Structure 1
Amino acid sequence: MLKLKFLGSADSAGIPVHNCNCIVCEKYREEKRVNLSTCAYLELNKKVILLDAGIDSISNIFDKKRISAVFLTHFHADHCMGLLRLRYSKDRINCYHPKDEYGFSDLFKHKHSIVYTPLEDFQEIIIEGISFTALPLKHSKNCYGYFIKSKTVQLAYLTDCFEIPQKTLEFLSSKKLDAVFIDACYDESIKKGNHLNYLQATKILDKFDAKQKYLMHTSHTTKEYIEKNKISLKYRYIKGNESFLF
């Protein structure tokens, strides 16, 4: 059985936002909840594979656990800053990512234990018997989503993006997907930017014949807009810390 767990499903600010007194941030404080930047991992037979590494404490979260690989969507801080500490691991860690001349901070200059491997569009990498295919997405930096396939499940992890290229849509439409997770950072009042709004994301999800469909990469302003306007969504957002078994 394959486990997919989200360590966070919010945008770079997280929830609650520092010193923000909006109704969402205040509610999170009252309920002692926190939603960190979007980051997840797969676990199969006690082997861990990271999907992004944007949480600073990720080296502590997985202390004493072998990380088989990291698949980065892109080199924005909220998806890779955990590598700044993880690179001092006593283990060699393979990190697969889109081509990026600069990466983030000095990660390429001081690699330490991390081996960086840039991927090509639709390139497949197999780790621990699980297949990862790099799916081009349109974002403000070179960005990949991933098609993930094991013996029992087929998943699509699609963050961050403001558009999904036709070739990626065609690729995923040819698959029997068990679940799709897609960026929906913005509320419907925002039509353009570096992310999808939840209506745009919903239209894309409608194209897929998947058993489960979810939104992710939310923000406190989006959640506030939904609450204030009593919006009913066709697909729900992933909770801040949520697990799936396939």
Structure 2
Amino acid sequence: MKFTLLGTGSVKGCPVYGCDCPACINTLMDPFLTRRPASATLESEGELILIDAGLTDLEDRFPAGTLRQILLTHYHMDHIAGLFSLRWGSALNIPVYGPDCDDAPVELIKHTGILDFTQSITPFSRFLSAGIEITPLPLKHSRPTYGYQFRRNRKNVIYLTDTLGLPDDTLTYLARDSIDVMIIDCSYPPNLENYPGAHNNLTDVIHLHEAIHPTKTILTHIGHEMDHWMNTNTLPENIEPGHDGMVIMV
């Protein structure tokens, strides 16, 4: 499996519009540090699966006919904004999997265009796509949200954004398994006061890393506060930051 992180930023991205913090200034000086909406692709057997669709240039990134399907974690705008233009394509049908679309914006479901929202998935029920076993995993967020487990040839990757900790059933399910790579929300540094309560800080991630014991943990949905913290601090062993364009082969 080839896993590519298209975007690794929190809802604000980095640089944050109008912000002059050191992390945002560094990003303006070095575009490699830019963080766009958290999203990824998974490639297997010549097929391409898109995970979340917050990027608004999907038509440029993916020529017509190249996307097998789209997996959505949830319906916040930074994870679905690109669908609003993509849907007006022609002569295509792209299956979209995710939480119950009753939670989706009315405009998106009223005029779906080439997007097929009729696919039904349920928590912990595996389905097969491009030779990969995919399992939806409930997360803890401000609206219904799934993470996903991907299994192929005894390799096991989990993608967990957006979340603050994990529900007990998801944590129990993952803790008894052998995980090669955990890609997880880490929006904030440790000990940040008064941070919004729907995303992990680094302390939360460390607790989950110790509970699940993946071989490697990669951070995504990273906020500019976390980028600033990482400029002067070191992450624990086997935990590393993701970056836009990062390729993970498993």
Unmatched runs of 5 consecutive residues or more in structure 1: none
Shift of 1:19: 2.4
Amino acid at match of 1:168: T
| Corresponding residue SS for 1:126 | strand
Unmatched runs of 5 consecutive residues or more in structure 2: none
Aligned mates of 1:240, 1:66 — CA distance in 2: 20
Q: Which residue of 2 aligns with 1:147?
A: 149
Query: Are 1:88 and 2:88 matched, yes or no?
Result: yes
Aligned mates of 2:219, 2:241 — CA distance in 1: 4
Contact 2:65 2:92 in 1 (8 A): no
Q: Which residue of 1 aligns with 2:14?
A: 15
Amino acid at match of 1:141: R
Contact 2:44 2:131 in 1 (8 A): no
Shift of 1:101: 2.0
Aligned mates of 1:64, 1:73 — CA distance in 2: 23
Spell out, residue by residue over 1:148-200, the C-alpha distance to the aligned partner (whole angstroms, 9 max, x if none).
11124211100101120111011112222111111111122146611010111
Taking structure 2 as the reference length, the TM-score comes to 0.91
Query: Are 1:242 and 2:243 matched, yes or no?
Result: no
Query: Are 1:126 and 2:125 matched, yes or no?
Result: no
| Corresponding residue SS for 1:108 | helix
Structure 1's 42 and 131: CA in aligned 2 closer, same or farther, altered over 3 A?
A: same
Instruction: Tell me how large the CA RMSD over aligned residues is.
Output: 1.6
Q: 1:1-246 counterparts in 2 under 5 A?
A: 2-33=1-32, 34-89=34-89, 90-104=91-105, 106-116=107-117, 117-188=119-190, 189-190=192-193, 193-227=197-231, 230-234=232-236, 235-246=239-250
Structure 1's 100 and 65: CA in aligned 2 closer, same or farther, altered over 3 A?
A: closer
Aligned mates of 1:206, 1:5 — CA distance in 2: 25
Amino acid at match of 2:95: N
Aligned mates of 2:164, 2:15 — CA distance in 1: 24
Taking structure 1 as the reference length, the TM-score comes to 0.93
Structure 1 stretch displaced more, 126-135 or 116-125: 116-125
Structure 1 stretch displaced more, 204-213 or 142-151: 204-213
